[in-house]
Amino acid sequence: MRFFVLGNAEKPNVRREAESLLPWLKQQGDVVVFDLEQKIDLQEHDADIALVLGGDGAILRAARQMGRKQVPVLGINLGKLGFLADVSPAEVASVIPELLAGNFRVTSHLMFECEVETEFGPRLCLGLNEVVVQSGPPFHMLELELAINGEVASAFHGDGLIVSTPVGSTAHGLSAGGPILGQELRAFVVTPICPHSLTSRTIVESADRQFSIMVRRGANSYLVVDGQEVWRLPERSCVKVREASVSFRLVKVGGRSYYRTLHDKLNWGATPNYRADHEPPSTS
């Protein structure tokens, strides 16, 4: 089995864990790329699995680094939450043999491409979590217009707008009041950020639509992709978001379902902390 070993060396413990893992991993298979600085064009190499050390940010970065040649990712969690990173460093020694034996599955997830004309020229970016158009200093409200397949769907004043994938629905969109989507759906979530309106609400739309976000007024607005790529937008900019031609692929090992992750990482579906000497309230 051929491996990429990826991560962000600037994050705590990543380099130490990666270098500790490397000799043992070379005994299990072929380490094609070892890159903790995001310097290598991964589209020029082939691998069966990408081991990404870090948190969700490291996985988002790796997905963009792989570009149009996505390799299934197994996340080794060294981050704060690690929603996409299922495996702890202590579990690697038991998980890798399972991978070599073929005891895993690979799930497929929507990615997007984002097109925009910035002050530095046209940009086209691939991403996994979300596109955000938001205000910058001095943080005045933006006037935004959302069009779906060329038809104006909404116009409002507010702090910005988020277009997220199902994977990204548990990130910035969730914090802004958006819903949680099943990770394997082919849909986008569009969530206004602090709209100055009682009627602007989140919508969920099919991934085969194109979303255009026009900055109708707002002298200092920014485009943020996956919380990592940031570009300043000139006024009257139009950001276009659509489904990418490739999908992100995630390695899933036994005993780690999506709902288990929601429960363990976000405490979703947990009951309130009732006092032991009181019965829960009746729902009838």
* 35 has a pLDDT exceeding 80: yes
The answer to whether 56 is a known catalytic residue is yes
Q: Which of 82, 103, 124 is the last residue of a domain?
A: 103
**Alpha-carbon distance 13 to 124, whole Å?**
33
Please report the pLDDT score of residue 165 as a whole number: 98
Min mean pLDDT across 55-69, 96-110, 116-130, 231-245 is at 116-130
* 266 has a pLDDT exceeding 90: no
Q: How many domains does the chain have?
A: 2
Average pLDDT for residues 192-197, to the nearest whole number?
A: 94
- Residue among 56, 86, 159, 226 flagged as catalytic: 56
At residue 62, the 3 state secondary structure works out as helix
Can you give the CATH number for the domain in which 32 is found? 3.40.50.10330
Whether residue 123 sits in one domain with residue 64: no
Tens digit of each residue's pLDDT (9 = 90 or more) over 197-217? 988 899 999 999 999 999 999
Global pTM exceeds 0.75: yes
Residue from 125, 195, 185 nearest 162 by CA? 195
Residue 87 within a domain: yes
Q: Which of 58, 81, 103 is the last residue of a domain?
A: 103
Q: In the chain, which ranges are continuous DSSP H helix?
A: 14-28, 56-66, 92-100, 172-175, 258-266
Between residues 138 and 249, the one the model is more confident about: 249
Residue from 152, 280, 149 nearest 216 by CA? 152
Residue 231 within a domain: yes
Can you give the CATH number for the domain in which 177 is found? 2.60.200.30
Tens digit of each residue's pLDDT (9 = 90 or more) over 62-88? 999 999 999 999 999 987 777 888 898
Please report the pLDDT score of residue 282 as a whole number: 65
